[in-house]
Amino acid sequence: MLQGRSLSVLWFSFLIGIGTALSAHATDGNELIGIGAVQKGTAGAGVAAPQDATWALLNPAAIVDLDKRLDISVEYLDLFRGSEPDGFGLVVNSRALHLTDHGAIFVPSFGMVWPLEHGTLGFGIFGVQGNNADYDRPRTTLGLSRGNDRRSSLSVAKIPLSYGYKFDNGWAVGASLLGVFTEFRTDSLTLKLRPTEGNYEKDYALGIGLQLSLYKEWERFRFGATWTSRQAVQQYEHYEDAIKWNLDLPEKIQIGVAWKVTPRLELLADYKWQGWSEINQFAKKTIEGGLGWVDQDIYKLGAIYRLNDRWTYRAGFSHGNSAVPEEFVFANALSPAIAEDHVTFGFSHRINDRHEVHFAYTHTLAVDKTDNGHGDLFSIIGRGTKVEYEEEAYTVQYSYRF
């Protein structure tokens, strides 16, 4: 058996792997619309319809309806990000023309559900969110001398320890202690218009938060709701000159229903809210050191069709307002969290009573935003700057029932 120190090294290596892989994509703000092929198949809808161990993060109360299981997934993201800097020529590098960043990222995740005599435990390590841009030319003339102000990367993994308990009346409650592991690096300019001293060196920070949830199933309907607290994250030591406040993660609410139209067909509808306005580093104006992000209202629809005991098919659609308003596009050229619409489909194949495989495809519709110059000084300077985003994602997952 592995000794405790060796096991700790393995866990830390897995976290580093997720942090290295998840250097950005994201869509619900800077968060994936779902974790694993089962969640992604319905565009992240399903807070009221537990299906695998990723519900330890989506809705810990709902895991009371799951058997003992292990779920492992890998997501392949094909990302396109673009930018056309424009504005005041002494600052904005309009001669850069059309900047593009097209790359692939792998995101691993795993989770476990373990029913107890009283209640159910859930655990996992999930790559969940991030921002990324890596252009070959800077967006500002002030970075030309050293080739800076063209790259930024934030990666986030969450580690929930969850517990769900069902009462005799059918209502279930759940709670999670959320561990957070993040990796950050950038070569952007600071408010003093000088390149950050971090110089794109990787820096790491830990965080913690709390999650509370509800779940109830009737004959044909199910209900689920979850609240996630603001997650406090440590400051990055190498980037104190570039990050004025800690990069905490926002408070979040997700509420949903599931309707069993027939024994084979189930329809899902979720509402998700993310509160960026309470996180200074995201919400404050650029001139104050922030990014100008706004709260998000996200709506998700999904369908599950169980053809037979072997095959299950899924489809979903997610729509939400961009976290980045038009008056802060220039400030977010290196953190383009502007995606709004996503279409997904997927399937599951049960090999036997213990083994099952899953697949999901996600298309994030192409979107672009242009800075209208109606924000602060940086918006006025960068008026006309355009940012583009598009994404294709392919997720495979393996499930084992004990």
Rounded-to-integer distance, Cα 105 and Cα 172, Å: 37
Question: What residue ranges do the domains of the chain occupy?
Answer: 10-401
Residue 18 three-state SS:
helix
Confidence of residue 390 (pLDDT cuts 50, 70, 90): very high
- Mention every residue, 6+ apart, whose C-beta is less than 8 A from residue 48: 59, 62, 215, 222, 223, 224, 256, 257, 258, 268, 270
pLDDT at residue 97, rounded to an integer: 75
Structure tokens at 241: 């000159």
Among 72-76, 197-201, 343-347, 396-400, the least confident range: 197-201
Q: CATH fold of 10-401, please?
A: Porin (2.40.160)
| Chain centroid offset of residue 54 CA | 13
Question: Whole-angstrom Cα distance, residue 246 to residue 233?
Answer: 6
**How does pLDDT run across 250-303, given as a tens digit for each residue?**
999 999 999 999 999 999 999 999 999 999 999 999 889 889 999 999 999 999
Alpha-carbon gap, residue 308 to 326, rounded angstroms: 48
Interior angle at CA 307, CA 305 and CA 311, nearest 5: 100
* DSSP code, position 62: G
Contact 240, 257 (CB under 8 A): no
Report which DSSP code applies to 301. Answer: E
Burial (CB count within 10 angstroms: exposed 0-12, middle 13-18, buried 19+), residue 262: exposed
Angle CA(130)–CA(319)–CA(161) in degrees, nearest 5? 45
Q: 95 and 140 in contact (C-beta within 8 Å)?
A: no
Token couple for 345: 């489909």
CA angle, 209 then 212 then 214, to 5°: 160
Provide the phi-psi class of 174: left if phi over 0, else alpha when psi is between -120 and 50, else beta.
Answer: beta
Q: Which residue spans within 12-119 are E strands per DSSP?
A: 69-84, 99-115
Going by C-alpha positions, the residue among 350, 259, 338 that lies closest to residue 45 is 259
354 Rama class: left (phi>0) / alpha (psi -120 to 50) / beta:
alpha
Per DSSP, the three-state class of 298 is strand
Confidence class for position 133, pLDDT limits 50, 70, 90: confident
Q: What is the pLDDT of residue 19?
A: 45
Lowest-pLDDT choice from 8-12, 196-200, 312-316, 382-386: 8-12
Reported as a pLDDT band with limits 50, 70 and 90, residue 91 is: confident
Tell me the one-letter amino acid at 90: L
| pLDDT reading at 10 higher than 70 | no
CA–CA separation, 64 vs 50, rounded Å?
9
Q: Does the model's pTM come out above 0.75?
A: yes
User: What does the alpha-carbon distance between residue 380 and residue 354 come to, in Å, rounded to a whole number?
Assistant: 59
Confidence of residue 94 (pLDDT cuts 50, 70, 90): confident
pLDDT at 98: 87
Confidence tier at 119 by pLDDT (50, 70, 90) = very high
pLDDT of residue 105: 85
Round to whole Å and give the CA distance between 342 and 344: 7
Check residue 47 and give its pLDDT: 98
